[in-house]
């Protein structure tokens, strides 16, 4: 499977046929998860797999509002964070997110339906106790696996790139906004507004360009107005701010 094709084809499956998944395929999905990147190669993920133990599977399913279809799955993979392997909360959460995405793509490649469930976290302690795990293990997500009973729903619409790309530095061809900001006149305006020495303005330019999303014409105009002010006026403005 081409990786980009797999990303495009993947769907969340919430209806499962009563067909058992072979153990070697579950192993392959877990192996894919372990190949995810992690800070300092800490590999903080731990898995608790439930298959063929219908009573435990049902009780875990009951811990989520989606128990009706979760209980139909052939296999549940509970993904835990090992706190003793943790060194940074956000970075470890990122690593486990990458781990889960790897498993979703592996399931897609193997023709197995999957759904990432995070709602179960509201009952994280109850689930951990059901699994008889120590407190060092923190539930991060539930991966629900099974062969799809029916064709999954169409993918929910995604925002177009212009709505999610905050900035692109340097500007694409045809855009004069960042060109002006990086010009000597723009640098003087930024230095006048902030009191930063001019040699620091390239970094400041990047930050301000990102923050204003390029389309804040009024901000650009105000910088131009400031650039045209006499130096005595901008000095007075800075004194008033302090």
pLDDT at 50 over 90: yes
**Cα(108)–Cα(118) distance, integer angstroms:** 19
Assess contact for 238 and 195: CB atoms under 8 A.
Answer: yes
Q: What is the CATH number of domain 3-146?
A: 3.40.109.10
Q: What is the pTM of this model?
A: 0.70
Assess contact for 95 and 163: CB atoms under 8 A.
Answer: no
Residue in this structure with the two tokens 């729903």, named with its chain if needed: 153
Mean pLDDT computed over every residue of the chain = 83
| CB contact set of 157 (below 8 Å; sequence gap of 6+) | none
| CB contact set of 23 (below 8 Å; sequence gap of 6+) | none
Domain limits of the chain? 3-146, 161-241
Residue in this structure with the two tokens 């009973």, named with its chain if needed: 149
Query: How sure is the predictor about 227, in pLDDT bands with cuts at 50, 70 and 90?
Result: low
What confidence tens digit (pLDDT) does each residue in 169-206 have? 887 665 554 444 555 555 555 556 555 555 544 555 55
What confidence tens digit (pLDDT) does each residue in 11-28 have? 999 999 999 999 999 999
DSSP assignment letter at 172: P
**Cα(133)–Cα(56) distance, integer angstroms:** 14
């Amino acid at each position: 499977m081409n990786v980009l094709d797999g990303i495009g084809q993947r769907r969340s499956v919430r209806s499962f046929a009563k067909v058992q998944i072979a153990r070697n395929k579950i192993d392959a999905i877990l192996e894919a998860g372990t190949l995810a990147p992690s800070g300092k190669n800490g590999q903080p993920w731990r898995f608790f797999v439930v298959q063929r133990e219908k009573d435990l599977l049902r009780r875990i399913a009951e811990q989520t509002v989606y128990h009706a279809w979760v209980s139909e799955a052939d296999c549940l993979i509970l993904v835990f964070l090992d706190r003793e392997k943790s060194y940074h909360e956000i970075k470890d959460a990122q690593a486990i997110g990458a781990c889960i995405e790897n498993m979703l793509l592996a399931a897609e490649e193997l023709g197995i339906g999957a759904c990432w469930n995070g709602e179960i976290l509201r009952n994280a302690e109850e689930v951990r106790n059901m699994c008889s795990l120590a407190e060092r293990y923190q539930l991060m997500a539930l991966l629900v696996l099974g062969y799809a009973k029916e064709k999954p729903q169409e993918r929910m619409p995604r925002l177009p790139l212009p709505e999610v790309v905050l900035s692109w530095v340097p500007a694409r061809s045809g855009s004069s906004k960042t060109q002006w900001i990086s010009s000597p006149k723009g640098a003087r305006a930024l230095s006048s507004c902030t009191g930063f020495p001019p040699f620091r303005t390239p970094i400041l330019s990047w930050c301000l360009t990102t923050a204003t999303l390029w389309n804040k014409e009024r901000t650009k105009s105000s910088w131009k107005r400031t650039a045209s002010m006499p130096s005595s006026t901008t000095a007075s403005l800075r004194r008033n701010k302090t």
